[in-house]
Amino acid sequence: MTDNQEKSEIVNTDNTIDAEKFKEAANEHFKNQSYDKAIELYTKAIELNSSMASYYGNRSFAYLKTECFGYALNDASKAIELDRNYVKGYYRRAAAYMSLSKFKLALKDFETVMKARPSDADAKAKYTECNKIVKKLAFEKAISLDNDKKNIADTINLDAMAIEDDYTGPKLDDGQKVTLEFMKELLKWYKEENKPLHRKYAYKILLDIKTWFMAQPTLVDVPIPDDSKFTVCGDIHGQFYDLLNIFELNGLPSETNPYLFNGDFVDRGSFSVECIFTLFGFKLLFPNHFFMSRGNHESAIMNHMYGFDGEVKAKYTAQMAELFTEVYNWLPLAHCLNKKVLVMHGGLFSRDDITLDNIRETDRNRQPPDEGIMCELLWSDPQPQLGRAPSKRGVGVQFGPDITENFLKLNGLDYIIRSHEVKNDGYEIGHDGKCITVFSAPNYCDTMGNRGAFITITGNDMKPKFTSYDAVPHPDIRPMQYARSLMKFMM
């Protein structure tokens, strides 16, 4: 052996030892739910020793925890490439595929796991459940081809729903209209009694809100008078008690205290039903002073996987879950404040020529597609680097400060506000102040330790002001309580 070979072997041995140290440190951060730090350390381990499938598999799991499904998919595939017998790699890739609604590919990976571990009851259960989802979606696709299929809203008969004598919760007035008194009683009922609103009133709210949203444009223009305050909130994700805290800190919605909630009202948090009826109720009460944008979680597949569908079925009926899907299809995709600030859930586009008129012309009455304007409004994320990059989520695009600047100039805007990402302080100012993220679910999923935030803007200068806050206590019902058991395990 030559001297150079000996030195190379020593260096390689040292790299292997150091890589293991980084991996072990990353594992500890993962256990403590410090996923970003874990990702950083797994990356260092990979840089020193890129031949270990487990390093990629572990980083894939951390990416799943931070909802970077595209990155998680790439790492899981790399782990499998390095070691075809690395079963965890197939588990991780299946979870990533499921998060991206690629259920047939997920099923194929679960099948591989089951073949590798034929006596593993857990592997068989996951394969069986995934197979049920694939068959269910195939059936739904088949019946959707029936042009005579009625809207769920058309099948609801409110007159046939009696109010039981023992129901003591909030009641709509004789005209069946939402009032401020009803909303105050509803908030108190949810907070103190933790019981559902009567199904008749719940259905009435859904039918009325669908009618209202159907009349809204895809891009809503919102005027803000010079001396008026306007509040923008980000993701709520079923954290009802934190939603109440926003109203405690910033006041209830009213004609003089308008709000915009920027998508992802439901899923993950286990009080999503309470959140959505609260928001829909205020929308009906103050239709011109309370606004709601669609998020990527206002979709049938996401609701099916991450808990809202299961929660509605537990508290009401499968029919109501389907009605929610119809309502969500009509949610506006974006709002333009004083013709100066564009607000959307996700972000900007894979093309440079997109105008506000293009957004206005977008057909939104559907489930979110995998590409195009609607997809990117719901899924895209900013990045600090110039240009564009494939999305870390596997859907949408990542866009840099130059992309933001060009979009603003093309459309005569000052800046954009978006949500969609957990931030430590509940907000982040990026792209030289031109791209602002706001996230309003503190201690997201009871694990992330982040603060929540909301933005207030005054019409005369349109400068954003930020209020951050911590999570408040909630009843002992854990997040993802109603999610598919597959996703509770994977995530």
Residue 338 DSSP code: T
List CB contacts of 482: < 8 A, sequence separation 6 or more: 270, 307, 308, 309, 310, 311, 314
Within 10 angstroms of residue 168's Cβ, the number of other Cβ atoms is 11
Locate tokens 């919605």: which residue?
253
Q: What is the pLDDT along the chain (491 residues), one digit of tens a residue?
A: 555 555 445 546 778 999 999 999 999 999 998 999 999 999 999 999 999 999 999 999 999 988 899 999 999 999 999 999 999 999 999 989 988 889 999 999 999 998 998 888 888 888 888 898 888 888 777 766 554 567 899 999 999 999 999 999 999 987 789 999 999 999 999 999 999 999 999 999 999 999 999 999 999 999 999 999 999 999 999 999 999 999 999 999 999 999 999 999 999 999 999 999 999 999 999 999 999 999 999 999 999 889 999 999 999 999 999 999 999 999 999 999 999 999 999 999 999 999 999 999 999 999 999 999 999 999 999 999 999 999 999 999 999 999 999 999 999 999 999 999 999 999 999 999 999 999 999 999 998 999 999 999 999 999 999 999 999 999 999 999 998 665 544 54
- Give the active site residue among 198, 289, 297, 431: 297
DSSP for residue 237: T
Residue among 383, 377, 436, 431 nearest 405 (CA)? 431
Is 297 in the active site?
yes
CA 348 centroid distance within chain: 17
- Please name the residue ranges forming H helices in 32-52: 35-48
Q: Name residue 58's amino acid.
A: N
HSE-CB at 44 with a 13 A cutoff on CA atoms is 16
The full set of domains in the chain, from first to last, is 3-144 (1.25.40.10), 164-490 (3.60.21.10)
